[in-house]
Structure formats: structure tokens, C-alpha cells
Amino acid sequence: MEFRYLPMTETDKKEMLETIGVGSSEELFSDIPDQVRFKGELELKKPANEAQLKKELAAMAKKNANLIEYSSFLGAGVYDHFIPSVVDHVISRSEFYTAYTPYQPEISQGELQAIFEFQTMICELTGMGVANSSMYDGGTALAEAVNLSAGQTKRKKILVSKAIHPESRAVIDSYAKGPNLEIVEIDHHNGRTDLKQLNDELDENTASVVMQYPNFFGQIEPLHEVNEMISQQKKTMFIVSSNPLALGYLTPPGEFGADIVVGDTQVFGIPAQFGGPHCGYFATTHKLMRKVPGRLVGQTTDEDGQRGFVLTLQAREQHIRRDKATSNICSNQALNALASSVAMSSIGKNGIKKMAVLNMQKARYAKQKLEETGIEVISQGAFFNELVVKLSENVANVNEKLLDKGIIGGYDLEQAYPDLKGHMLIAVTEIRTKEEIDTFVKELGDIHG
């Protein structure tokens, strides 16, 4: 069979084997001991031609209820925001997506500058001094932040709010096993972190306090008060995970004394794609610049005095420092960071607030409608674009019924919080129309009875 990605002809092969000085390609594999040689053919599906494969995979895709055709009220860390067409046109330029990490700055100025611009945008949004080139996602960025705080303070105890995304908490737990950290979870009351418990647990062994803002339930945590508590302890670091879109309206964590701010830029130009790849961001203070995990791009000049960009402070990284590196991370999410940069440029300085407000207004409209319909809304304090309701029925069942009506319902909180039976976390983004919200509330009301 012929393969369109393989240009070697029989003539090429013959000539090349002659140059190498072997009679057949088998000789090049003769150093693999016979006992470990794989005999026979791998059991894989037969190769598919391009037309056939497109058809087959399109059919597979069709089996999934997608966010374009369905009206979605599902968020919980991954959001359905409008993605301008320019985003995909930019990231489809193959000079970007077929390139490697920009190790050769002379032919990688495009990528390097794009990352430098991304770093700047993240600093602007978070109110922090330094941001890296990106991380795998918000969850692992948070776990890296926790490990950094332990290394920096030489302490083991970490206070983690239970109002943080449960899957991010699970990742923190996994990352904490390496350096043997003690993770203490702080309860929440009605969707907000229990500050009293936080204060009681906070002591001279605490490496960091970890909060989410807005938190997993959509609530705005009182970062100012938390920072006041932390300030009582010398060295304890303040780590905040933030939805960067919300920072278009909210005072950024940097102004509340955060030492590290992380999160995910999926909200800017990255489709949900079943949870990945998304794009973590990692921002911190100048003081911690040399402790940052991952790639950093810096501005410099070339021999002719031309402005340009390079990967910098590489002495932190695994390819130089090996086991002394600040992290084992090698890749970043460059292409997704690019997508987010394009989306952020598109939204712009004034647009970012407008977009945040649009999310908030629509979410409040949904809240009012839900209350009018007699559905108990649990969320009462200041919130961003997500709220919690309590239903009389199991959320999974409700969602199954909603799906039949063309609606993807909210997140079933019982999955991660066993005491929150019948509690649904509803996200309302700017692209949900009034009509969609009305229909959703009506259907939910009908099911709720």
C-alpha cells in the first residue's frame, strides 16, 4: 500500500541502502535482540483512505451532543464563550502550529513575540509583575504554585479551600505526594470559604493559602480579609486561582496581595474540546521571577540593536538544571496561548469589562427567572456568572430530561460534594440569549414541578 506521508520510493530506498552499505533495511534493525523482536503484524484497524476516514470520524463526532447545536448551561471550570473567527485563522497558520519551542530566536521571532505579548496581557489582567509563557492548564498550574510555595517557604502545610474546583484539588493532592506536603482542606458555607476555620488552621508552618476567585460555586471570595489573615504569618504565601474573564470586572488578585495567580485562559478563544488542551497561566511577583516553572520570554536586542525576544532565565529549567530545576515541565501550551492572545486582542481593553458585565447581567437575569419559577437559588452573595440551585430531583436525571429538549444542563454538585444532593451549578455566559435562558428556566421549572 502507498502512504501519502512517506515519500521514499523503491529507487530511493535502494540507493540509500547502498550508501549505508547494507543489503536491506532489516540489517539496520539486527541489533534488536531476537527475543524482543516483534514478529507478525500489530493488530490495528486497517489503514483508511482520506475520504473514508473523514466520513468515519464525522460519524463518530455526530454521536456527541455539541455546544453549538445544544444550548448549554454547563460551566464548572470550562466555559462556552464566543470565539471570534480570527482566532482559528491565526492558529491555523502552519508557521505557528508546525514549529517547535523557539530555541532558535533568529527564526522564531514570531512565536517569541506572541508569547511576550501573552505574558504582558496576563500581567495586565491579574495585576501581577511577571507571567510565564503558559502551563498545561489551570489545575496543574495551581499544583505547581503550591509546590513552589512549599519550596520557597520550606514549609509543608497548605490550606486549600474546598470552594476550589474539585478536579484542581485532586491534582494538588497528586502533586503534593512528591514533596510530602500536608494538604488541609478548608470547608465552605453556602459556597464560600469558612474564614474562621481558615484562620484557626493558619499558623507558622503554613506555606500557602489557596483560594479561587470567583470560586467553584461562582462566588466572590473576600480576598482582602484572607490577605489580612495571611499577613499575620511571616512568609506564608497567598495563591489565587482566577477565571481571567472575571478580572475584566473584578479587582485583580495582585491588588489583594496575592503572591501567585494562576488559572486557565480557555475562556479566551479555546473551545471546550472535552477538557483539553486548554491553557494554564502562571503569574507572580518580581521577587519570585527566578522560581517560576516553565518557559519565560524576555526582550533583548540583536547585534544590530534591533529589538527582539528570546527564551530567558533558562537556568531554572529541566534541560539545563536537570534534577535541580524548578519543575519538570518542558512544553508549554504555546498554540493555545496564541489563541487566547488573539481573543484577548480582539476583545480589547474596554471590551473585557463589557464582556464580563454581559456574563454577569445574563446570569442575574437567569437567577431572577429561576426564583420567579420557584426554584431555590442557594447562591446569595456577590457572584460572577455561575450560581447554585437546589432541585427536588437528582441532577443527573434532570439533565437527561433537559438533553431531550436540546439543553445541556448544569453541573451536578453531588459528584464532588456528597452533601449537595440535588444541587446544580448553572453557568450563564454572554452567548446565551434571553430566549434560551427563558426556555431553560421553563423546562427546569416543569421538571422540578
List the interface residues with other proteins, window 365-394 (CB under 8 A).
Answer: 365, 368, 382
Q: Is residue 271 at the binding interface for other proteins, with CB under 8 A as the rule?
A: yes
| Distances 371 to 300, 305, 366, 368, 374 between C-alpha atoms, Å | 57, 63, 9, 5, 5
Q: How far is the CB of 101 from other proteins (least distance, A)?
A: 4
At 289, list the grid cell: 521571577
The DSSP call for residue 184 is: E
Where does this chain touch other proteins (CB under 8 A) — which range of 123-131, 183-191, 192-200, 233-241? 123-131
Q: How many residues bind other proteins (CB under 8 A)?
A: 207
Q: Is residue 232 at the binding interface for other proteins, with CB under 8 A as the rule?
A: no
List the interface residues with other proteins, window 396-425 (CB under 8 A).
Answer: 396, 399-400, 403, 408, 411
| Distances 107 to 103, 335, 336 between C-alpha atoms, Å | 9, 17, 20
Which of these, 174, 179, 244, 233, lies nearest to 202 by C-alpha position? Answer: 233
List the interface residues with other proteins, window 48-77 (CB under 8 A).
Answer: 48, 50, 53-54, 56-69, 72, 74, 76-77
Q: Output 195 or 382, the one with its CB closest to other proteins.
A: 382
Q: How far is the CB of 247 from other proteins (least distance, A)?
A: 7
Which residues are CB-neighbours of 296 under 8 A, at least 6 positions away? 119, 130, 132, 133, 289, 311, 312, 313, 316
List the interface residues with other proteins, window 142-201 (CB under 8 A).
Answer: 147, 165, 167-168, 170-171, 173-175, 177-180
Q: Is residue 130 at the binding interface for other proteins, with CB under 8 A as the rule?
A: yes
* Contact with other proteins (CB under 8 A) among 114, 237, 258, 444: 114
| Distances 148 to 49, 341, 342 between C-alpha atoms, Å | 48, 26, 30
CA distance 129 to 356: 23
Q: How far is the CB of 295 from other proteins (least distance, A)?
A: 7
List the interface residues with other proteins, window 2-41 (CB under 8 A).
Answer: 3, 5-8, 12-13, 15-17, 19-22, 25, 27-29, 31-33, 35-38, 41
Report DSSP letters for 365-380, one per residue.
HHHHHHHHTTPEE---
User: Does the bond joining 214 to the residue before it have cis omega, within 30 degrees of 0?
Assistant: yes
Q: How far is the CB of 63 from other proteins (least distance, A)?
A: 3
Q: In terms of C-beta density within 10 A (0-12 exposed, 13-18 middle, 19 or more buried), how is residue 355 classed? A: buried
Q: Is residue 210 at the binding interface for other proteins, with CB under 8 A as the rule?
A: no
